[in-house]
Amino acid sequence: MIRSILIILLPVLLMPAAGAQNTAQEHRWVAISQTAVRDRLREPASARFEGVYFKRARLNGREIPVVCGRVNSRNGFGGMTGFQRFIASGENLVFLEEEVADFETAWQSICLPRPRR
């Protein structure tokens, strides 16, 4: 599982680590990542986020910008699905908890520990 994630993250790993040093850039990265998460949901406009944070994760010895958090949205019947965790890195990489078999391992290695602010 982690190997698959690393392969998918390769384009992000090649980005310069200094790309999002200040808070404004981090907020922009969070906004872009939340849009990517919304785009994966059945009803994007219904998305509600909580516990969202920016982090520089270390994978294969490199730092990558990552956004971790929880999202809730409406299902096909109009009811809310319940919060699920997500890992995102920009607009092209989103992992939703309900879609990844070994999500817990990815969460533990990428999103934890949560950064102090």
In a 3-state reduction of DSSP, which class is residue 85? strand
Average pLDDT over residues 71-92: 96
- Residues 83-95 as b or e (16 or more Cβ within 10 Å = b): bebbbbbbeebbb
More confident call, 1 vs 61: 61
- For tokens 């392969």, the residue is 7
Report pLDDT digits (tens) over 39-60. Answer: 999 999 999 999 999 999 988 8
- Residue 12: the pLDDT is 47
d(CA 10, CA 34): 20
| Entry pTM | 0.80
Handedness of CA 95, 101, 106, 112 (dihedral sign): positive
* Alpha carbons 11 and 90: distance in angstroms, whole number: 11
- Domains in the chain: boundaries: 2-11+22-110
